Amino acid sequence: MTDVENVIIIGSGPAGYTSALYTARANLRPLVIEGYAWGGLLQQTTDVENYPGFPEGILGPELMQRFREQAERFGARLLTDEAASVRLSRDVGGVHQVVAGEREHYARSVILAMGAQHKKLGVPGEDELAGRGVSYCATCDAAFFKGATTLIVGGGDSAMEEAIFLAKFAKHVTIVHRRDEFRASKIMFDRARSHENIDLLTPYRVKELKASENGSLATAVLEQTESGDERELEISGAFIAIGHEPQSAIVAGQVELDEKGYAVVQGRSTRTNLPGVFAAGDLVDHTYRQAITAAGSGCQAALDAEWYLRDTPGVPAPEGMPEGDLAESQWIHAGGA
């Protein structure tokens, strides 16, 4: 078998690029399968005001560009292609296979950092009208809705952020939420509420999205969750901001996942149930889900992979790295299983 990599990283959000940076600086020459839409969910945001080190804030896409450049600077190799499938070894010291593009790639260790994607409502009309009025990203699509009447679905920070951004373009934004209480932080909720052209409608759920004769979104059918009463809202844009789900499909059946599909890791480490396979970022974390926490766990995954390569019998230590003792090192560095 030729070209067995030290480490393949799948994913290119803050977790993926941070693990690329750290493994590159450990001379492991990581191969990053970054996908076509590299940069993860931060590519779809505007101002990031809570990433330490940027007191004036920074645009999400610019932040990710910087992550990427920093990883490349130390020798991370980036493959702008999707990982189509993986075959992960169950053996300590085994070699894992990742298929991306036309090629099969092999590696002694794999870091999974595929992140999470936008959740769908699952109502009639949603799929058919995607791109024709239904969107999951106001920051990407709001400019197409100048002067339009629109709605946002959701009651969390994402819904507030999307509504505030959309309100700069749309004539009117109605935030539709299924409960009277909002999950959003007070600061985001107050910011959204202070806009003249943003309204709240609760407790309502979207029952159906209907098209006009020309095939684009025209009407949202809404149901009052307590009384069951229905009403229709004439809109040309509906933005769904109801959270995220992990992108774990390609490892399902191989890596242990929880009931929601998030990768399960051992203790405070990033080790999965498979030796040499590590998971980081939003693929693991349904609690914090911040760029800074994802970056932190990408760093942990890189260190876990580095120690695994150094310490595992059957996996040759990368050049310049001394062999060590597996049990002792895992206990000391990763908190034990």
Q: Report if residue 179 touches ligand NAP, rule: CB under 6 A.
A: yes
- Using CB under 6 A as the binding rule, whether residue 298 contacts ligand NAP is answered as no
- Specify the residue, 94 or 203, whose C-beta has the smaller distance to ligand NAP: 203
Centroid of chain to Cα 127 = 21
Residue type, 305: A
Least distance to ligand NAP, CB of residue 118, Å:
8
Nearer to ligand NAP, 95 or 294 (CB): 294
Helix (H) or strand (E) holding 222, with range, is: strand 217-224
Residue of 7, 10, 88, 242 interacting with ligand NAP (CB under 6 A): 242
Per the structure block, which two tokens stand in for 19? 């693990």
Identified binder of ligand NAP from the candidate list 32, 110, 121, 152, rule CB under 6 A = 121
Q: Examine the residue annotation and report whether 140 is marked as an active-site residue of this protein.
A: yes
3-state secondary structure of 171: coil
Contacts of 115 (CB under 8 A, 6+ apart): 11, 13, 15, 16, 40, 41, 246, 247, 281, 282, 283, 294
**Interface residue with ligand NAP, options 157, 285, 304, 311 (CB under 6 A):** 157
| Of residues 244, 302, 287, 247, the one with CA closest to residue 45 | 244
**Minimum CB distance to ligand NAP smaller for 138 or for 274:** 138
Cα distance between residue 271 and residue 151, in whole Å: 41
Q: Which span (98-106, 179-187, 213-221, 272-280) binds ligand NAP, by CB under 6 A?
A: 179-187
What is d(CA 2, CA 158) in angstroms, rounded to the nearest whole number? 45
Taking alpha carbons only, the member of 147, 121, 149, 115 closest to residue 136 is 121
Interface with ligand NAP, residue 231, by CB under 6 A = no
110 part of the interface to ligand NAP, by CB under 6 A = no
Among 115, 155, 275, 298, binds ligand NAP (CB under 6 A): 155
| Of the candidates 96, 101, 167, 109, the residue with the CA atom closest to the CA atom of residue 138 | 167
Number of residues that bind ligand NAP (CB under 6 A): 19
Across the beta sheet with 217-224, the strand order is: 204-211, 217-224, 230-234
Q: Using an 8 Å Cβ cutoff, are 36 and 81 in contact?
A: yes
| Segment holding 47, helix H or strand E | strand 47-48
Q: Which is nearer to ligand NAP, 30 or 298 (CB)?
A: 298
Q: Is 109 in the site for ligand NAP (CB under 6 A)?
A: no
Question: Taking CB positions, which residue lies at the least distance from ligand NAP?
Answer: 156
Note if 137 is an active site residue.
Answer: yes
Which range touches ligand NAP (CB under 6 A), out of 242-250, 292-300, 307-315, 328-336?
242-250
247 is an interface residue for ligand NAP by CB under 6 A: no
Residue among 289, 316, 318, 326 that touches ligand NAP (CB under 6 A) = 289
Q: Which is nearer to ligand NAP, 185 or 212 (CB)?
A: 185
Catalytic site residue 141? yes
Q: Are 209 and 217 in contact (CB under 8 A)?
A: yes
* Cα–Cα distance for residue pair 96/111, rounded to 1 Å: 11
Residues ≥6 apart with Cβ < 8 Å to 172? 149, 150, 197, 199
The one catalytic residue among 3, 91, 127, 140: 140
Q: Which is nearer to ligand NAP, 109 or 297 (CB)?
A: 297
Residue 154 found at the interface with ligand NAP (CB under 6 A): yes
The reply on whether position 13 binds ligand NAP by CB under 6 A is: no
Residues that bind ligand NAP (CB under 6 A): 121, 153-159, 161, 178-179, 183, 185, 188, 205, 242-244, 289
Residue numbers annotated as active site: 137, 140-141
